[in-house]
């Protein structure tokens, strides 16, 4: 089995600039919706997708364009709906997860609609998993547009790999990237972790990123997944 010596994992800055966002068929529908703002036919939109798919990047881009208040969901996020809606014309609420306060969310949605203001809600899963029980708030959420970032296609996977390798200053041949696209799990979070592991292996073994190295790392991931 491939033996990799521990290395110092230097932090890599995460950029939320629009120029660093990779567009593809998997996120086109969501991007189109967000770029239509403020010409929305509704007061709120829900964006979902698996970890690492670009939801937060998209939310940050939208907040910058709309001049929106960007907030990570927490216990105090919806503690004062009246003040929240009064202070901001547009709100981005990211990383929504259960438990979510039914009454506070319903009040926030009502205030947004009455005031003609907007909100982008971002979560990993659909509203049915947010721990809500009030029928009124659930029906309100189910009536909103639900956008989902799908698994990346070949073009987006190729562009993402090229960018991740470039960010780490790793020179990788196109044939190696093609191999990864054909054999790796179709998940942006998996690809990000794979590149991190390849970087560590390349540095530890003092060898370039080649197809045999990629194959060995993919096999290790497969074994880890089984056990």
Write out the chain's pLDDT in tens, 227 residues: 444 444 444 455 556 777 788 899 999 999 999 999 999 999 999 999 988 888 999 999 999 999 999 999 986 789 999 999 999 999 999 999 998 999 999 999 999 999 999 999 999 999 999 999 999 999 999 999 999 999 899 999 999 999 999 999 999 999 999 999 999 998 888 999 999 999 999 999 999 999 999 999 999 887 554 33
Closest CA to 197 of 224, 159, 227: 224
Taking the C-alpha atoms of residue 127 and residue 147, their distance in angstroms, rounded to an integer, is: 12
Strand arrangement of the beta sheet that strand 118-123 belongs to: 69-72, 90-96, 118-123, 44-49, 146-149
- Which runs of E-coded beta strand occur in 97-160? 118-123, 146-149
pLDDT tens for each residue of 169-191: 999 999 999 999 999 998 888 99
Q: Kindly state the helix (H) or strand (E) to which residue 91 belongs, with its residue range.
A: strand 90-96
For 119, list phi and psi in degrees, rounded to 5. -145, 140
For the chain, give the mean pLDDT. 89
- What stretches of 11-118 show up as alpha helix (H) in DSSP? 28-36, 55-66, 81-87, 102-115
């Amino acid at each position: 089995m491939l033996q990799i010596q521990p290395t110092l994992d230097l932090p890599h800055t995460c950029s939320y600039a629009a120029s660093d966002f990779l567009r593809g068929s998997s996120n086109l529908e969501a991007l189109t919706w967000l770029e239509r703002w403020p010409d929305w036919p509704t007061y709120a939109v829900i964006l979902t997708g698996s970890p690492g798919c670009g939801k937060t990047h998209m939310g940050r881009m939208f907040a910058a364009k709309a001049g929106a208040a960007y907030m990570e969901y927490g216990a105090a996020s919806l503690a004062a709906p009246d003040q929240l809606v009064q202070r901001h014309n547009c709100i981005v609420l990211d990383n929504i997860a259960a438990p979510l306060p039914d009454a506070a969310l319903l009040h926030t949605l009502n205030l947004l609609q009455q005031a003609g203001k907007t909100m982008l809600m971002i979560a990993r899963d659909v509203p049915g998993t947010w721990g809500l029980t009030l029928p009124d708030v659930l029906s309100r959420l189910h009536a909103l547009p639900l956008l989902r970032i799908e698994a990346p296609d070949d073009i987006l996977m190729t562009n993402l790999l090229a960018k991740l390798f470039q960010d780490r200053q790793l020179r990788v041949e196109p044939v190696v990237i093609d191999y990864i696209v054909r054999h790796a799990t179709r998940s942006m979070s998996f690809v990000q972790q794979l590149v991190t592991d390849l970087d560590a292996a390349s540095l530890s073994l003092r060898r370039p990123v080649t197809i045999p190295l990629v194959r060995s790392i993919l096999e290790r991931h497969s074994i880890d997944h089984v056990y």
